[in-house]
């Protein structure tokens, strides 16, 4: 058989990477261990004899690395030989268990034994690979922290921050006082953990009027505390949400009005002398001193008083009104509710604020007298309207009771003042329902006929 034939025979016998037998030695896909030297493992290409045991055809000839598979060589990638590659630098295939780190291998400790730091597949030892490696108590191949093996591949134990077995907690509890033991026992405080068991000293039932746990107080139970015991001068201590509310405590002399203080230094809280005049002062006990106040109601004008009871220095006219009576309010300021204006444009809140015959309607003084001048309907009270042009108050009503002195007092061009009756009436051809509505005194077929005589 020629050299080419022998080479083809060798390649056929060595398809793919060689396999490793359980002893960790190297063999081909179809033969025994390579170390046996049998002709079935490596072909001797140069001599034409398939015998890897011949010293004259082995890699010792120095031909390993020439990129040609010579006798005794399983492979030869030339410059590509060496660690980390598929062909070793001795021209043998790099396989798991040969002690050489090959391509895609994380480790290779020269054997195919699991649990010694390098697995039988030459993968690096790692927690979660299902193999118990050095330093691991266990390895169940999952990351469940609550089974018999922790995600760190250690046996469960108090202090590993995973709640296992009969542990109530391990590290800071993931629940609060309100949830412990299913809830209902506590509603306040901080749950802690010691020796993998709940510590309930910091939990309490806020709202039961008993200061327990970490509660400073509970309702009316202040646990003996007072404003003074908390460093204040005075005041009433309160409890809100099982914690002290010191808003009712005072510190007289700090210039801040707090607690039950009426004032503190210059801070008098906006206090006044009431219905009098002047400004209160603050005494050393943080109480208002009213000795400098002049009080309204003594009939004497003092301080900023405008008036005092019946002592009213002024008139309605001095306050911008046309008439009426100026009074004095309880706070010793002018009372103008009885002052009035005599213009139909004056504002008002009652009839008393409109002088003479004027009255108050819609917040404005208005006239009830026909013929009074006006600028708009608001100047004319009740049913009166303002007839523009003559600009006088007029009425749309006609007949008995609607008196007038001139035609201007009767609205519209179809009405006039009857010079005989002195009543507004309708002229001829206007609709009517009674003779009295017509200036002629004749209503026929619902129409005024004839002329005013």
CA 390/CA 395 separation, integer angstroms:
13
Report the percent of the chain where pLDDT is more than 70. 84
Is the model's pLDDT at 50 over the cut of 60?
Answer: no
Give yes or no for residue 47 having a pLDDT over 50. Answer: no
How do residues 55-77 score in pLDDT, each as one tens digit? 333 344 468 989 899 988 889 88
Do 437 and 349 share a structural domain? Answer: no
The pLDDT, as a whole number, for residue 303 is 66
Do 3 and 38 sit in the same domain of this protein? yes
Which of these three, 124, 159, 190, is where a domain ends? 124
Report long-range pairs for 81-90 (Cβ below 8 Å, ≥24 apart). Answer: 86/17, 89/64, 89/65, 90/59, 90/64
17 pLDDT more than 80: no
The more confident residue out of 97 and 20 is 97
pLDDT confidence bin for 147, thresholds 50/70/90: confident
Q: Domain ends where: 69, 92, 124? A: 124
Residue 286 falls within a domain, yes or no?
no
- Do residue 437 and residue 371 come from a single domain? no
380 with 420, same domain: the answer is no
Residue 143, in any domain of the structure: no
Q: What pLDDT shows up at residue 104?
A: 74
pLDDT of the residue at 41: 33
Instruction: Give which of 29, 55, 53, 32 is closest to 43, Cα–Cα.
Output: 53
Residue 222 pLDDT exceeds 50: yes
Going by pLDDT thresholds of 50, 70 and 90, the confidence category of residue 37 is very low
- Say yes or no to pLDDT of 319 above 70: yes
Predicted TM-score (pTM) of the model is 0.31
**CA 330 from centroid of its chain's CA atoms:** 49
In a domain, 289, yes or no: no
| pLDDT mean over 292-303 | 78
For the chain, the domain total comes to 3
Average pLDDT over residues 432-452: 90
pLDDT at position 149 is 86
Phi, psi of 426 (to 5 degrees): -100, 145
Q: Higher confidence at residue 406 or residue 34?
A: 406
Same-domain check for residues 364 and 384: yes
Question: Is residue 107 in a domain?
Answer: yes
* Burial grade of 394 (CB within 10 A; 0-12, 13-18, 19 or more): buried
Report yes or no on 313 lying in a domain.
Answer: no
Q: Residue 228 and residue 366: Cα distance in Å, rounded?
A: 68
- Asked if residue 148 belongs to a domain, the reply is no
pLDDT tens for each residue of 97-119: 888 887 778 788 888 887 777 77
pLDDT bracket for residue 190 (50, 70, 90): confident
Residue 409 in domain: yes
Instruction: For the chain, give the secondary structure using H, E and C.
Output: CCHHHHHHHHHHHCCCCCEECCCCCEECCCCCEHHHCCCCCCCCCCCCCCCCCCHHHCHHHCCCCCCCCCCCCCCCCHHHCCCCCCECCCCCECCCCCCCCCCCCCCCCCCCCCCCCECCCCCECCCCCCCCCCCCCCCCCCCCCCCCCCCCCCCCCCCCCCCCCCCCCCCCCCCCHHHHHHCCCCCEECCEEECCEEECCCEECCCCCCCCCCCCCECCECCCCCCCCCCCCEECCEEECCEEEHHHEECCCCCCCCCCCCCECCECCCCCCCCCECCCEECCCCCEECCCCECCCCCCCCCCCCCECCECCCCCHHHCCCEECCEECCCCCEECCCEEECCCCCECCCHHHECCCCEEECCEEEECCCCCECCCHHHECCCCEEECCCCEEEECCCCCCCECCCHHHECCCCEEECCCCCEEEECCCCECCCHHHECCCCEECCEECCCCC
Give a yes or no: residue 300 inside a domain: no
pLDDT band at 32 (very low <50, low <70, confident <90, very high): very low
Q: Are 190 and 176 in contact (CB under 8 A)?
A: yes
362 has a pLDDT exceeding 80: yes
20 and 3, same domain (yes or no): yes
Nearest to 254 by CA among 233, 229, 237: 233
Instruction: Indicate whether 38 and 89 sit together in one domain.
Output: yes
Whether 9 and 91 share a structural domain: yes
The answer to whether residues 448 and 367 belong to one domain is no
Residues 366 and 431 in one domain: no
Let me know whether 373 and 441 are in one domain. Answer: no
Position 414 pLDDT exceeds 90:
no
For range 25-52, the mean pLDDT: 34
**Residue 325's pLDDT band (boundaries 50, 70, 90)?**
very high
Domain hosting residue 417, numbered range: 395-453
**Structural domain ending residue among the three candidates 90, 124, 158:** 124
Q: Which of 30-39, 162-171, 227-236 has the lowest mean pLDDT?
A: 30-39
Average pLDDT of the chain? Answer: 80
Check whether residue 6 and residue 102 sit in a common domain: yes
């Amino acid at each position: 058989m020629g050299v080419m034939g022998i080479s083809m025979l060798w390649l056929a016998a060595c398809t793919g990477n060689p396999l490793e037998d359980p002893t960790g030695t190297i063999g081909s896909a179809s033969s025994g261990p390579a170390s046996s030297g049998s002709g079935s493992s490596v072909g001797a290409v140069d001599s034409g004899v398939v015998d890897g045991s011949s010293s004259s055809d082995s890699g010792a000839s120095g031909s390993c690395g020439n990129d040609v598979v010579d006798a005794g060589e399983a492979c030869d990638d030339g410059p590509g030989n060496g660690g980390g590659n598929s062909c070793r630098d001795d021209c043998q295939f790099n396989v798991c268990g040969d002690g050489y780190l090959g391509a895609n291998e994380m480790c290779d400790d020269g054997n195919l034994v699991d649990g010694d730091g390098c697995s039988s597949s030459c993968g690096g030892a790692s927690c979660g690979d299902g193999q118990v490696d050095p330093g691991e108590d266990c390895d169940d191949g999952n990351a469940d922290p609550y089974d018999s093996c922790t995600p760190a591949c250690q046996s469960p134990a108090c202090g590993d921050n995973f709640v296992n077995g009969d542990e109530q907690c391990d590290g800071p509890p993931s629940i609060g006082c309100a949830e412990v033991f299913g809830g209902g026992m506590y509603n306040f405080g901080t749950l802690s953990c010691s020796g993998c068991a709940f510590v309930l000293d910091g939990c309490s039932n806020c709202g039961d009027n008993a200061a327990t746990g970490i509660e400073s107080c509970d309702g009316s139970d202040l646990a003996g505390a007072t404003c003074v015991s908390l460093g204040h001068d005075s005041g009433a201590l309160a409890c809100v949400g099982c914690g002290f509310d010191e808003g009712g405590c005072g510190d007289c002399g700090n210039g801040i009005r707090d607690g039950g203080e009426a004032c503190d230094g210059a801070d008098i809280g906006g206090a006044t002398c009431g219905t009098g005049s002047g400004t209160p002062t603050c005494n050393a006990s943080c109480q208002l001193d009213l000795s400098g106040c002049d009080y309204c109601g003594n009939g004497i004008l003092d301080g900023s008083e405008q008036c005092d009871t019946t002592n009213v220095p002024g008139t309605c006219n001095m306050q911008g009104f046309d008439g009426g009576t100026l009074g004095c309010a309880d706070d010793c300021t002018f009372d103008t509710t009885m002052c009035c204006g005599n213009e139909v444009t004056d504002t008002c809140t009652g009839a008393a604020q409109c002088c003479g015959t004027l009255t108050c309607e819609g917040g404005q003084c208005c006239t009830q007298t026909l013929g009074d001048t006006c600028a708009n309907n608001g100047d004319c009270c009740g049913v009166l309207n303002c007839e523009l042009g003559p600009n006088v108050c007029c009425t749309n009503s006609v007949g008995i009771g609607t008196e007038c002195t001139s035609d201007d007092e009767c609205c519209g061009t179809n009405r006039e003042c009857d010079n005989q009756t002195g009543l507004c009436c309708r002229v001829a051809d206007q609709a009517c329902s009674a003779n009295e509505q017509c200036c002629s005194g004749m209503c026929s077929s619902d129409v005024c006929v004839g002329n005013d005589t």
